[in-house]
Amino acid sequence: MLFNSYEFIFVYLPCVLGMFFLTAKKSHSLAIFCLAIASLVFYGWLTPQLVLLLLASIILNYGFARSLMQAKNQQTARYLLILAIGLNLANIGVFKYAKFFLQTMNALPGMHLPVPDIVLPLGISFFTFTQIAFLVDVYRGKAQEVDFIHYLLFVTYFPHLIAGPIIHHAQVMPQLLNPDTGRLKLNNVALGLSIFTVGLAKKVLLADNFSAYADAVFLAAKNGEMLALETSWVGVLSYTLQLYFDFSGYSDMAVGLSLLFGVRLPVNFASPYKAASIIDFWRRWHMTLSQFLLQYLYIPLGGNRKGPGRRYLNLGITMLLGGLWHGANWTFLVWGGLHGIFLMVNHLWREVVTRHAVFKIVSPLTSNALSCMLTFVCVMFAWIFFRAENVSAALVLLKGCMGEGNSFIFTPVISILFWDIPYFSFLTLGCFLIWCLPNTQEIFSYCDQVELPRKTKNEKRWHIRWIPHPLVGLFLGCVLCLSLSHFYKVSTFLYYQF
């Protein structure tokens, strides 16, 4: 089920909210059970058969969690943890990477392996990584959960189930199990609906409109058409803004929906395009995934504890696997590898170059602006591979960005975007919203267990703040109505495919 659909907003959400708060008056345990069942309904709305896979994963991991809690010694617990993680990764491997592996093998001479048509379950990476994190936390003694219904809700809680954030047991379950959560609070409803409305507007009014132009450019590149310099850069910028508002919109909607139930989800998105370095970018983009990769992959690999050489190797491995997490395609590996290289260069710059006074001549304001611009260009460059259908299409678009297409190309697929004044006004609006206005957390003063990135020395501090006022409600109501009027086509979130 999509957050941006009439059936969700006008049927599912009111019914689940009413059921949760009404049953909570009689029994908080019953309310938890009903919310867990409703979350399963949400997941299986379009493909009910996938609920069986989700339940099988939950039952298996719950069994391993109980076994870890009851393990007689550390060695037994460690073997159980390794087996559990291996089975989880194997599950992802079959559904997400088996087809890619077989197609890659068939590219070799003499190979003709059958390639089954495997349906990728929605959110498999998110609910699997959530459970892996829980198992590791149980092994480390940071989580204790014995009730199956509680665990079922922890995994399936619908605001985060499909596209994150990746949550930890200690962040969410104490809130859900608190009897006070079952009491309807108007402040939470007002704040939650406001944040949800902002996220919905980002998705349907901004991201979906950028997608039309981005899709046209990347389709032309897929077809091998050489694009002009201006057309190529506009297409890449359009996708860069589309992905920003799409993922930011989903993150806001998830936070707002959860607040309706009185539960604060961790922040997953904090103005990443304002980052002054790639290091800072990954502290702001998909923050819960970054923390997962840091805690459960980079640090176990050795982190920076074994010298700079090993540190750079660990960074490269972490980002390659992070890229592969996003999808079974060589383009995602290239994207992850590029960010690994960017991070290595960034750390090397910080460790070596900035020690010399000659590089400190530029004023802090100019230096920060140049750093933000360079970081943004690097991120845009990598997004080309992230979005492209294959490496060949990405290279075609790169050639266009480097000016190999000397003139505009008239095709039925793509128009001369460079001279499309209304669309350029729309692009300008998107850039203004990203760089000149505060983000959702700043406007709504929303904070939680996740530490937000510190503002850079010269980053502007705005004082636009949400208040529960009738005029603010009227404005957001108009935004909501405008967003609802744009539900003219099915538009999934980009991170649903991961």
- Could you give the residue numbers annotated as active site? 326
Q: How far is CA 337 from CA 64, 97, 299, in A?
A: 33, 18, 18
The Cα 126–Cα 161 span in angstroms is 7
Instruction: Judge contact between 191 and 154, C-beta under 8 A.
Output: no
CA–chain centroid gap for 67, Å, is 31
124-139 and 74-92 are packed helices; what angle lies between their axes, rounded to 10 degrees? Answer: 180
Q: How far is CA 343 from CA 112, 230, 239, 243, 355, in A?
A: 39, 29, 22, 21, 18
SS (HEC) of 88-153: HHHHHHHHHHHHHHHHHHHCCCCCCCCCCCCCCCCCHHHHHHHHHHHHHHHHCCCCCCCCHHHHHH
* Region of 92 on the Ramachandran plot (φ > 0 left; ψ -120 to 50 alpha; else beta): alpha
Looking up tokens 């707002």 gives 256
Instruction: Judge contact between 19 and 182, C-beta under 8 A.
Output: no
Instruction: Judge contact between 409 and 242, C-beta under 8 A.
Output: no
Instruction: Judge contact between 237 and 427, C-beta under 8 A.
Output: yes
The Cα 37–Cα 158 span in angstroms is 10
Helix (H, G, I), strand (E, B) or coil at 486: coil
**Complete DSSP assignment for 222-285:** HTTPPPPHHHHHHHHHHHHHHHHHHHHHHHHHHHHHHHHTT-PPPP-B--GGG-SSHHHHHHHB
Residue 494 has what DSSP assignment?
Answer: G
Closest CA to 313 of 333, 337, 335, 295: 337
* Region of 139 on the Ramachandran plot (φ > 0 left; ψ -120 to 50 alpha; else beta): alpha
Give me the helices (H) in 178-228, please: 186-201, 208-222
Tokens at 408, concatenated: 């505009």
The Cα 147–Cα 194 span in angstroms is 34
